[in-house]
Amino acid sequence: MEPLLCFPDPFPAELALALERAGYPWKAVAQPEHGSSDEPEDGWAGAVVSADADPQGAFALCRSMRTREVPLRPLLLVVGRTQVGDLSLREDQFDDFCVLPVHPEEVTARLAHLFWRTGRGLRPELIEHGPLVLNLETYQAAVAGRALDLTFMEYELLRFLAARPGKVFTREMLLSRVWGYEYYGGARTVDVHVRRLRAKLGEEHAHLIETVRSVGYRFGHGTWAP
C-alpha cells in the first residue's frame, strides 16, 4: 500500500493520529520540492496537506503535485478558518478541504470518500458501526475517535460481534467461535471480557454490547442503521 504524502514535517499531531487510527501509511515532507524528490518508487497514494503553519509552502506543494504530467489525486487540504477565503482561486489545486480544528473522523471520512470518488482502493478494510471503527488490517479499534487499548482477545470478541450486528450468541457459541473449540475455559470467560470491553468503550458506548437475558450477547441491536 503506497503512503500518503503529508505536509509539513513535523506533521500536525491530530492529523497524524487520524491517519494512523484509520490504518493509512503516510510520510511527511518538510519542503514542497521534497514531494517529488522523496516520492517512493510506486508513487504516492494521495496527499494530505496542512496549510495552517506554512501556507506558502503548502500551496506550492499542491501546485507542484497537480501540475505534473499525471496530477496527484486525491489531495485533501487542511486550512485554518482565516484561510478559507484564499481557496476561491485555487480550486484546481485540491480535491477537498477541512477547516481546523478538525475531528479525526472527518479527516478519515473525507479521505475515504475521495478514494472512492477517484476509484482508488487504498482504504483499509474496516468494520464501522456508528462511533465504532475496527481496522481489520492493523487490529486497531476506536470509538468516537478515541483509540481503544484492547487485548488480542478483547479485540477478537468485539470484532466477531460487530461483524454480526443484531445476532444473538450464547456464551458457549462465543467460546467456540472466538476462543476456539479447544479452549476449555468456562462461560465466565466471556462475561469477564464483555465487562472489560464495556469499561473500555466507556459509559456512553457500553450499550453497544447488549445482554440478552438468559441467552447471551448481541451487538448494537436497534442502536443505529449499520
SS3 (DSSP) at 62: helix
DSSP 8-state assignment for residue 93: G
Whole-number percent of the chain with pLDDT over 70: 92
Q: Does residue 88 fall inside a structural domain?
A: yes
Contact indicator for 83, 52 with CB cutoff of 8 Å: yes
Element containing residue 212 per DSSP (H, E): strand 209-212
Residue 67: domain span: 4-117
Tell me the one-letter amino acid at 64.
S
pLDDT computed for residue 223 by the predictor = 46
Structure pTM? 0.56
pLDDT at 181: 58
State the average pLDDT over residues 70-74: 91
Give the pLDDT of residue 23: 76
Exposure of 59 in the CB half-sphere (CA atoms within 13 A): 13
Q: Which of 48, 83, 117 is the last residue of a domain?
A: 117
Q: Which residue has the higher pLDDT, 5 or 184?
A: 5
- At residue 225, the pLDDT reads 37
The answer on pLDDT for 141 being more than 60 is yes
Domain of 81, CATH number, reads 3.40.50.2300
pLDDT of residue 226: 37
pLDDT digits (tens, 9 = 90+) for 84-103: 988 987 889 999 999 999 88
Whether 191 and 214 map to the same domain: the answer is yes
Signed CA dihedral, 59, 64, 70, 72: sign only:
negative
Asked if 58 and 30 count as a contact pair (C-beta separation under 8 A), the reply is no
pLDDT tops 90 at residue 44: yes
Question: Any idea which residue has 483509540 for its cell?
Answer: 147
Residue 74: asked if its preceding bond is cis (omega within 30°), the reply is yes
Better pLDDT: 191 or 23: 191
Residues 107 and 44 in one domain: yes
